[in-house]
């Protein structure tokens, strides 16, 4: 567990900095994320940006004149471990809100401990398959409509009509592929291969052979770590890209690119709410400033990126801050009512706003293509509707 905004002096006791002497008491924020295990690279980015945002909020006077205490628990890329640790946040630490979860299976495992039995607000920051309409759960990452409606027609125009869907066998790929297949077919393409594999599978020669034999034009991948690195490598070694094939993966961001050599993912197309290239291009000064602050504070390989849910974590914390300020307190129903129409004018990749009654966000979306080990943004769509709930 990691705590910010107060100084620990012993079990059950806290000394607040002098500027908080007359504050009502801290507001408690819980982060449940994968600090260890195969998804640890993403979870650590989530924890890092949460620390940075909370420190900035506290430096600006907190929320409602109260400091934020940040509690972080490791969900360990393991649902059974996660449930127990999330209960600590809700039952022991009595946090006012929980943010986190990377995979959809993780969200499904922990959500009852938060919003059901825990009667606590939950913000889920990751891109996902949609259909999460549970009351008191707000989703701040992209949905299938936001990722597929522009990307798939682009893939057909810049790759071809014959698609393969190699996929990890859990809820996100199954439901995302259902949506993606419809967009492919409505756009004049066809899905000639759709297969699902155990999450820990790392050998894909049989799948790669099918892709090559079926003359697939576009590989729309939803295999996840630890399998995605070996899959992309084996696909490249079979000559898929060299013969003109197009690889696409909607979560493959700058935190995952080091899983493969640059030439292995050359030409990969993705669609996300933020790419680091935006901060380098000069077209998004706020993102550049945020990116620089993160990079200065957290040097190393754990990057602030979109596919790892870090952008959704930032968005979620700032939307929640706006909602608490409007509600005038942290009572769950009051904050949920304010969060239902919350907006932020600035964020990674641009502004964001909740769609009233839908508990999902409108946000800018970008298509980018890998060139020489980095992404180049080639298309921007503003305030795209999530089309959920």
DSSP 113: I
**In this structure, is residue 389 part of a structural domain?**
no
Residue at 303 is within a domain: yes
- Predicted confidence (pLDDT) at residue 1 exceeds the cutoff of 70: no
What pTM, to 2 d.p., does this model score?
A: 0.91
Residues 260 and 379 in one domain: yes
Residue 204 has pLDDT above 90, yes or no: yes
Domain CATH code at residue 376: 3.40.50.2300
The answer to whether the beta carbons of residues 273 and 311 sit under 8 Å apart is: yes
77 falls within a domain: yes
Question: Both 233 and 380 in a single domain?
Answer: yes
On whether both 126 and 165 belong to a single domain, the answer is: no
Q: Is residue 208 part of a domain?
A: yes
Residue 7, token pair as written in the block: 């100084």
Q: What is the pLDDT of residue 282?
A: 77
pLDDT of residue 22: 57
What is the structure's pLDDT at 13? 29
Residues 180 and 203 in one domain: yes
Whether 324 is covered by a domain: the verdict is yes
Do both 156 and 183 map to the same domain?
A: yes
Q: What is d(CA 367, CA 147) in angstroms, rounded to the nearest whole number?
A: 9
Residues 88 and 226 in one domain: no
Q: What is the pLDDT of residues 309-356, one digit of tens each?
A: 999 999 999 999 999 999 999 999 999 999 999 999 999 999 999 999
CA angle, corner 80, sides to 77 and 84, nearest 5? Answer: 105
Tokens 């990890």: give the residue: 168
**pLDDT of 19 strictly over 80:** no
Clarify whether residues 273 and 211 are in a common domain. yes
For residues 14 and 87, membership in a common domain is answered with yes
Do 246 and 375 fall into the same domain? yes
Two tokens, residue 132: 């999460």
Say yes or no: 377 and 321 in one domain. no
Is residue 15 located within the same domain as residue 50? yes
Q: What percent of the chain has pLDDT over 90?
A: 86
Number of C-alpha atoms within 13 angstroms, CB side, residue 65? 5
Instruction: Summarize the confidence of residues 125-141 as an average pLDDT.
Output: 97
How many domains would you assign to the chain? 2
Range of the domain at 319: 7-142+286-363
6 confidence band (pLDDT: 50, 70, 90): very low
% of the chain residues with pLDDT over 70: 94
User: Residue 103: which of 76, 136, 66, 135 has the closest Cα?
Assistant: 76
pLDDT for position 308? 81
**Quick check: is 2 in a domain?**
no
Rg from Cα positions in the chain: 21
List the single range of 41-50, 78-87, 273-282 with lowest mean pLDDT: 273-282
57 is a domain residue: yes
Q: How confident is the model at residue 45 (pLDDT cuts 50, 70, 90)?
A: very high
Q: What is the pLDDT of residue 14?
A: 35
Judge if 249 and 378 occupy the same domain. Answer: yes
Q: Kindly state the tokens that stand for 173.
A: 């790929």
Per the CB < 8 A criterion, the answer to whether 96 and 27 are in contact is yes
Whether residue 221 contacts residue 166, with contact meaning beta carbons closer than 8 Å, is answered with yes
pLDDT of residue 23: 61
pLDDT digits (tens, 9 = 90+) for 210-263: 999 999 999 999 999 999 999 999 999 999 999 999 999 999 988 887 789 999
Phi-psi region of 190 (alpha: psi -120 to 50; beta: other; left: phi over 0): beta
Taking the C-alpha atoms of residue 44 and residue 236, their distance in angstroms, rounded to an integer, is 29
Q: Give me the residue label for tokens 């009572």.
A: 331
């Amino acid at each position: 567990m990691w705590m910010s905004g107060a100084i620990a002096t012993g079990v059950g006791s806290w000394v607040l900095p002098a500027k908080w002497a007359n504050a009502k008491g801290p507001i408690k924020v819980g982060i449940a994320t994968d600090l260890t295990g195969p998804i640890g690279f993403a979870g650590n980015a989530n924890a890092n940006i949460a620390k940075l945002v909370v420190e900035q909020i506290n430096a600006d006077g907190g929320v409602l004149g109260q400091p934020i205490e940040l509690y972080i628990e490791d969900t360990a890329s393991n649902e059974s471990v996660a449930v127990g640790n999330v209960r600590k946040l809700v039952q022991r630490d009595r946090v006012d809100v929980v943010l986190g979860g990377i995979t959809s299976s993780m969200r499904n495992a922990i959500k009852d401990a938060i919003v059901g039995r825990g009667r606590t607000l939950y913000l889920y920051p990751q891109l996902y398959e949609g259909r999460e309409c549970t009351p008191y759960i707000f989703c701040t990452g992209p949905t299938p409509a936001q990722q597929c409606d522009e990307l798939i027609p682009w893939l057909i125009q810049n790759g071809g009509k014959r698609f393969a869907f190699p996929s990890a066998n859990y809820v996100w790929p199954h439901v995302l592929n259902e949506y993606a297949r419809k967009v492919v077919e409505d756009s004049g393409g066809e899905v000639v291969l759709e297969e699902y594999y155990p999450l820990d599978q790392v050998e894909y020669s049989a799948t790669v052979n099918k892709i090559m034999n079926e003359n697939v034009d576009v590989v729309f991948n939803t295999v996840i770590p630890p399998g995605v690195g070996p899959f992309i490598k084996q696909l490249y070694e079979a000559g898929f890209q060299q013969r003109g094939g197009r690889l696409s993966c909607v979560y493959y961001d700058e935190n995952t690119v080091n899983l493969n050599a640059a030439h292995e993912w050359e030409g990969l197309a993705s669609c996300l709410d933020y790419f680091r290239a935006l901060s380098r291009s000069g077209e998004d000064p706020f993102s550049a400033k945020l990116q620089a602050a993160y990079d200065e504070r957290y040097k190393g390989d754990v990057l602030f990126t979109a596919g790892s849910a870090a952008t959704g974590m930032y968005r979620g914390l700032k939307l929640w801050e706006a909602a608490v300020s409007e509600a005038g307190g942290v009572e769950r129903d009051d904050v949920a009512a304010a969060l239902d129409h919350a907006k932020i004018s600035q964020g990674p990749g641009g502004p964001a706003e909740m769609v009233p009654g839908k508990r999902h966000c409108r946000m800018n979306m970008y298509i980018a293509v890998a060139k020489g080990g980095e992404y180049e943004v080639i298309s921007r769509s503003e305030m795209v509707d999530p089309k959920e709930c």
